[in-house]
Structure 1
Amino acid sequence: MKVEIYSDIACPWCYVGKTRFERALAAFPKGSSVEVVYRPFQLDPSAPHEARPHHEVLAAKFGARAAAMDRQIAALGAEEGIAFEFDTVLENNSLLAHRLLRFTLEEYGPEAQVRLKGRLMAGHFGEGMDIGDHEHLTDAAVAVGLDRDAVAAFLSGDELHDEVLDDIDEARRLGITAVPTFVFEGKWAVQGGQETSVFLQALEQVARDTAAEHAAEDAALATDDAGACADGVCEVPAADGGAAR
């Protein structure tokens, strides 16, 4: 099974969703066979490329409600084992970090990408990491097993810039307007940082539906084969374009 997760690094509900989904994956009997890939999404693509204190950014968007919003998500995070230290959070444009995640996927594989996603979220929300800073991003990548020189070289250029922007545009074309969104097998979607039980039910349901589809395909193939060999012989194309028996 493949699960594609559309999320932004600077999205607290994405962090909650990631934590709950991974807990469900650990409880899913076939969890080790599930491939998880993170896809980029930007809640604020117009955000400036400079670090700003979280409280200032949130207050500019939501006014007096900002502090209460932070308290609510911090309390929820504590229940999930997540440390939301909003006093130290720095907001920045997340495009560079998304490029690094795409680079990690292509060069190191999905498991390394998942590890880096977790490191970036933990750093951003709990350690004052600037997700637009080359040194901070490099340190995060090295912490999860990537090569420092390769990461530094990548971040110094513009590789995968257009590709990541295309991925973000594709997400919107698919109708994804809010994150996190979890897409199972390219067909079924679960939106939001749902409870662990909801993710577990989704994994189990998709596994059943996929197995049923495969069984139906196998049955149809068996029927087709039976028809082609109904006379005890099977027809194959002959070299001259005719049929050989």
Structure 2
Amino acid sequence: MGGMNTTVQFVADIPCVWSYFGYTRLRRVLARFRAQGGRADVVFRPYQLDPDATVAGEPKMEVLRRAFGQDAASAVAAITAKAETEGLRLRHDKAVYSNTFEAHRIIAVAARQGLGEEMAERLFRAHHTDELNVADVDTLKGLAAETGVRWSDEGADELRAELDRVRRSGVRGVPVFQFPGRPPLTGAQSEQALQAALAAYLP
């Protein structure tokens, strides 16, 4: 008997470390689910933590210092150690905090080509590990090519409408995971919680 094809809506923003953790866990859970014959698509829904961030960006450490004050260094050390337990390597020293509009747009372009999951992973890694500016169009073109995504300039109007829809739906923080017919799961969910949510859709 074939299983149902389910959809996970994932609301996130690239510079958000909890979005990265949540997405990393979701991908691990999806890999197991698919190996067991489950079918699931991820629908990426965009959210901008800072719609006013510039394309040139600023050093992420400055942003963290504004957020955490004197505790910025210890906060960064704690999150970096936590990332290692997720199998992720975070670098902050030269990281660039910039506008994520174009990054969200290229995820949507990639999704239409069946490569949304790969493009999202590459963008998270570009920002958090490679210290790349994910607002820079040349950088994005390189990352798209590396991921096998054909570049397109389309989708800006649709993205603006979708950002607006997500905001109007009441999302005020990310990540958010939405499984069909269930209340949304907010924050960086554990693998166990994500696995339990998906288990209902196994064949």
Match of 2:187 in 1: 192
**1:130 match: secondary structure:** coil
CA contact (8 A) 1:88 1:126 kept: no
Task: Say which one has the larger Rg.
Answer: 1
Answer yes or no: is 1:50 the counterpart of 2:45. no
Distance (whole Å) between structure 1 residues aligned to residue 139 and residue 124 of structure 2? 12
TM-superposed CA distance for 1:186, in Å, is 6.0
User: Which residue identity does 1:138 align to in structure 2?
Assistant: K
Between 26-35 and 69-78, the greater mean CA deviation after superposition: 26-35
CA contact (8 A) 1:5 1:39 kept: yes
User: Which residue identity does 1:16 align to in structure 2?
Assistant: F
Q: How is 1:112-151 mapped onto 2 (pairs within 5 angstroms)?
A: 112-147=115-150, 151=151
TM-superposed CA distance for 1:41, in Å, is 0.5
CA contact (8 A) 2:55 2:136 kept: no
What 5-or-longer segments of structure 1 have no aligned partner?
A: 212-245
User: Which of 193, 197, 203 lines up with 1:202 in the alignment?
Assistant: 197
Answer yes or no: is 1:88 the counterpart of 2:98. no
User: Which residue identity does 1:2 align to in structure 2?
Assistant: T
TM-superposed CA distance for 1:5, in Å, is 0.3
Between 178-187 and 7-16, the greater mean CA deviation after superposition: 178-187
Distance (whole Å) between structure 2 residues aligned to residue 26 and residue 116 of structure 1? 16
Distance (whole Å) between structure 1 residues aligned to residue 191 and residue 125 of structure 2? 19
TM-superposed CA distance for 1:187, in Å, is 4.3
CA contact (8 A) 1:52 1:90 kept: yes
**2:184 match: secondary structure:** strand
Distance (whole Å) between structure 1 residues aligned to residue 27 and residue 106 of structure 2? 22
Match of 1:174 in 2: 169
**1:38 match: secondary structure:** strand
Q: Residue by residue, what CA displacement relative to the aligned partner does 1:171-219 show, whole Å, maximum 9, x if unpaired?
A: 12222211110111264311111111111111124x38xx9xxxxxxxx
What is the count of residue pairs matched by the alignment?
197
CA contact (8 A) 1:24 1:200 kept: yes
CA contact (8 A) 2:133 2:139 kept: yes
Distance (whole Å) between structure 2 residues aligned to residue 65 and residue 167 of structure 1? 35
Q: Residue by residue, what CA displacement relative to the aligned partner does 1:49-98 show, whole Å, maximum 9, x if unpaired?
A: 21211111211233112222211211110001101011121111111111
Distance (whole Å) between structure 2 residues aligned to residue 100 and residue 26 of structure 1? 23
Distance (whole Å) between structure 1 residues aligned to residue 172 and residue 126 of structure 2? 25
User: Which residue identity does 1:12 align to in structure 2?
Assistant: V
Structure with a larger share of its residues in helix: 1
Q: TM-score under structure 2 normalisation?
A: 0.90
CA contact (8 A) 1:182 1:190 kept: yes
Q: Residue by residue, what CA displacement relative to the aligned partner does 1:110-150 show, whole Å, maximum 9, x if unpaired?
A: xx011010011111111111101111101111111123xxx
Distance (whole Å) between structure 2 residues aligned to residue 39 and residue 25 of structure 1? 18
CA contact (8 A) 2:53 2:98 kept: yes
What 5-or-longer segments of structure 2 have no aligned partner?
A: 1-5
Distance (whole Å) between structure 2 residues aligned to residue 127 and residue 49 of structure 1? 17
User: Which residue identity does 1:128 align to in structure 2?
Assistant: E
Q: Specify whether residues 172 and 17 from structure 1 end up closer, same or farther in structure 2 by C-alpha distance, changes over 3 A only.
A: same
